[in-house]
Structure 1
Amino acid sequence: MPRLPTALTCVVIVACGLGVRALWDGAFPKYAGDALYTALIYALLVLALPRIRPLVAAAVSAGLSWAIEFAQLWEIPEPLRPVLGSTFNPPDLLWYAVGAAACWLVHHRLRAQQG
Structure 2
Amino acid sequence: MEKPTEPASIPGADRDTRRFMARAVAAVAAVGTVGAGLAVRAGADGAFAKYAGSALYTVLLCALVAFCAPRARPLVVAATALGLSWAVEFAQLTGVPAELSAHSAAARLVLGSTFNAPDLFWYAVGAAAAWTVHAGVRRRA
Query: What TM-score do you get using the length of structure 2 for normalisation?
Result: 0.77
CA distance in 1, matches of 2:136, 2:109: 33
Q: Give the 5 Å matches for 1:4-83.
A: 4-75=24-95, 76=97, 77=100, 78=102, 79=104, 80-83=107-110
Give the corresponding residue for 1:89: 116
Give the corresponding residue for 2:8: none
Superposed displacement of residue 17, structure 1: 0.3
What runs of 5+ residues in structure 1 fail to find an aligned partner? none
Q: What is the identity percentage for the equivalent residue pairs of Structure 1 and Structure 2?
A: 57
CA distance in 2, matches of 1:82, 1:39: 15
What runs of 5+ residues in structure 2 fail to find an aligned partner? 1-18
Q: Per-residue CA shift, 1:18-61, capped at 9, x if unaligned?
A: 11011011000110000100000000011111101111011100
Give the corresponding residue for 2:11: none
Larger Rg: 2
CA RMSD of aligned residues (A): 1.1
Q: Which moved more, 1:81-90 or 1:13-22?
A: 81-90
CA distance in 2, matches of 1:11, 1:55: 21
Query: What TM-score do you get using the length of structure 1 for normalisation?
Result: 0.94
CA distance in 1, matches of 2:128, 2:110: 22
Superposed displacement of residue 84, structure 1: 0.7
Q: Which has the higher contact order (CA 8 A, sep 6+)?
A: 1
Q: Displaced runs of 4+ in structure 1, greater than 4 A?
A: none
Superposed displacement of residue 83, structure 1: 2.1
